[in-house]
Amino acid sequence: MVHTPEGVGFGDVLAELARRRQEFREQRYVPKDFIDRLKRIGIYRAATPSKFGGQPLPPAEFCQAVERISVVDGSAGWVASFGSAQIYLAALPLETQAELYRDGPDVAFAGALFPMQRAAATERGYLVDGHWKFASGCMGADVIGVGLPGDDDSGGKPRTAVLRPDQAEIVQDWDVVGMRATGSFDIVVRGVEVPREWTFIRGGAPTVDEPLYHYPTIAYASQVLAVVGAGVARAALDHARQAGGGYTGVTGAPKLADRAYYRTEVARAEAELSSARAWFYDLSDQVWQHVLRGDTATDEHNARLRLASAHLARVSSQVVDRLVEISGTAPIYTAHPLRDLAGDALVPKQHAFLGPAIFDSAGAVLMGLAPTSPGFR
């Protein structure tokens, strides 16, 4: 269970989110005061090493928490999902992590990893200068990471430089049809020297020897995004069931729930989403139990986790699109709930971690070949 210090209940935070989600969408980001609320229910310590005061959760438990948030608002779920980012940060030197968590285990990280920008090596580290996109949650972040290309020292894997928010400029240019409140703004950094010990290899070996940091890192980063789509799809199904008993078209046709095609498609959508979720969570638990036994996760474990995540994201988006299609003319209005849900469900499916290339790479690994896309493992 997500820890809830100071008597703050998960349900209380969800109720507040329901009241404020339109505010967040209009300003295009989840504000720091609400991220602080998420901290108080343990979202931002759920992947912090226990040696630094964290309370790391099994991946499936954290994903379930993110999914619950996403049912209420996909953008807030997306921002909350980066409470898992400490699995990346666990590749920092232990001394750096001790400094990072000096004031407590609840640290919000926002990563602007693409496009990767070259940084000149200095005696102490790297001279960082460039412009990056998609820094989700940056308006409430405690630290911001920017992506650097791989080098000989990293084995070709990309590197991330960690900065304080006051070392970067946030450019508020987020204007999208889905996940409008994620605040996935651009980050600009000009001539900041980042010490080498404040950089890490993305997906690199952890310096913390605890079970969570032996779970496949990039796969986990994919999972926490996929469940946002699942939460959005659940919200759409909940709406469809409620609306079915009340909506009558202008033509005088029967209520939606009295139409065979509507009942059939809602049932099919329920079955497909539930099936994709069940496989996703069952597989996550299998790999977690493997890691808890002290065994090393295999390339096939990683491939199956990536595949299940991409599949869940795709099914979730298809579910919402199908519900729009069978709901008559009502969803053509901009204020209709399914309009925002369709846009939100589209975003996880389009993410690089969950897109079409993942199916090809997963298939290659399952057939004993090397993955076909970079950063797959």
Q: For each successive 10 residues of the chain (377 residues), what is the average pLDDT?
A: 60 98 98 98 98 98 98 98 96 98 98 95 96 98 96 86 98 96 98 97 92 96 98 98 73 83 97 98 98 97 98 98 94 94 97 96 97 86
DSSP assignment of 90-147: TTS-HHHHHHHTTT-S---EEEE-BS----EE-SSEEEEEEEEEEETTGGG-SEEEEE
Whichever domain contains 62, its CATH number is 1.10.540.10
Q: Within this chain, do residues 195 and 263 fall inside the same structural domain, yes or no? A: no
Cα separation, 358 vs 309, whole angstroms: 9
pLDDT of residue 151: 82
| 125 shares a domain with 61 | no
What's the Cα-to-Cα distance from 139 to each of 7, 15, 35, 165, 223, rounded to whole Å? 26, 22, 10, 9, 23
The answer to whether residues 188 and 224 belong to one domain is: no
DSSP 52: G
Question: Do residues 348 and 231 both lie within one domain?
Answer: yes
Residues 22 and 67 reside in one and the same domain: yes
Among candidate residues 56, 89, 122, the one where a domain is terminated: 89
Looking at the structure, tell me whether residues 174 and 228 fall in a common domain. no
Terminal-to-terminal C-alpha distance of the chain: 28
What CATH code is carried by the domain that includes residue 309? 1.20.140.10
**pLDDT score, position 248:** 58
Which residue, of 201, 231, 247, is where some domain finishes? 201
Q: Is residue 254 a part of any domain in this protein?
A: yes
Domain of 192, CATH number, reads 2.40.110.10
Range of the domain at 181: 108-201
> Are the CB atoms for 332 and 281 separated by under 8 Å?
no
Structural domain count of the chain: 3
CA 137 vs CA 37, 232, 304: distances in Å: 14, 18, 28
Same domain, 347 and 237: yes
pLDDT at 5: 44
62 touches 44 (CB < 8 A): no
Distance CA 375, CA 353 (A): 9
What pLDDT shows up at residue 4? Answer: 47
Q: Could you tell me the CA-to-CA distances from 148 to 197, 310, 343, 350 in Å, in that order? A: 14, 25, 30, 22
Assess whether 282 and 330 both reside in one domain.
yes
- Residue 223 and residue 341 share a domain: yes
Task: Specify if 373 maps to a domain.
Answer: no
Same domain, 362 and 312: yes
In a domain, residue 114? The reply is: yes
Helix, coil or strand: residue 282: helix
What is residue 277's predicted lDDT score, i.e. its pLDDT? Answer: 98
